[in-house]
Amino acid sequence: MSIGALELASLFRKYTGTLADIDLEQNKAGQSYNAAKRDLGLSKSKNRKVLSEKMAGQGLANSGVSAKENVDLNVAYDNAGADADAQQAANLAVLAKKRLDAKANYDEGTALSKMTSLLQKQAQ
């Protein structure tokens, strides 16, 4: 193996290692996001039940007060879900940038290695 081939192999190992690290980060971010959304759904269901029982206990089950409380509950959980979605989108954007940077570094390194190899051949 020539020096250029060794350099290329090293660059490729570094590149694939970086991609593996990014994949792991993306997997963890996805798991956190899914858990957060699941927990929000469970909490919303629990709080909706508590609210329904509270309103029924006060004789307000079909009242405007009950409707307003339900709307407020939905809005709060919708906003929390939107925040989680925005955070996930931001996380994915950062990971996409890392992938692009890793590819650019790999491409730059391979081009430099090939150019160095050509210059060495010309010098001989």
pLDDT at 3: 59
Which residue in 90, 86, 89, 79 sits closest to 40, CA to CA? 79
Q: How far apart are CA 1 and CA 118, in angstroms?
A: 15
pLDDT computed for residue 118 by the predictor: 80
pTM exceeding 0.75: yes
The pLDDT confidence band at residue 7, using thresholds 50, 70 and 90, is confident
pLDDT at 1 over 60: no
Compute the chain's Rg from CA coordinates.
Answer: 27
State which residues form the domain around 93.
3-123
Number of domains within the chain: 1
The one-letter amino acid at 72: D
Tens-digit pLDDT profile for residues 56-95: 999 999 999 999 999 999 999 999 999 999 999 999 999 9
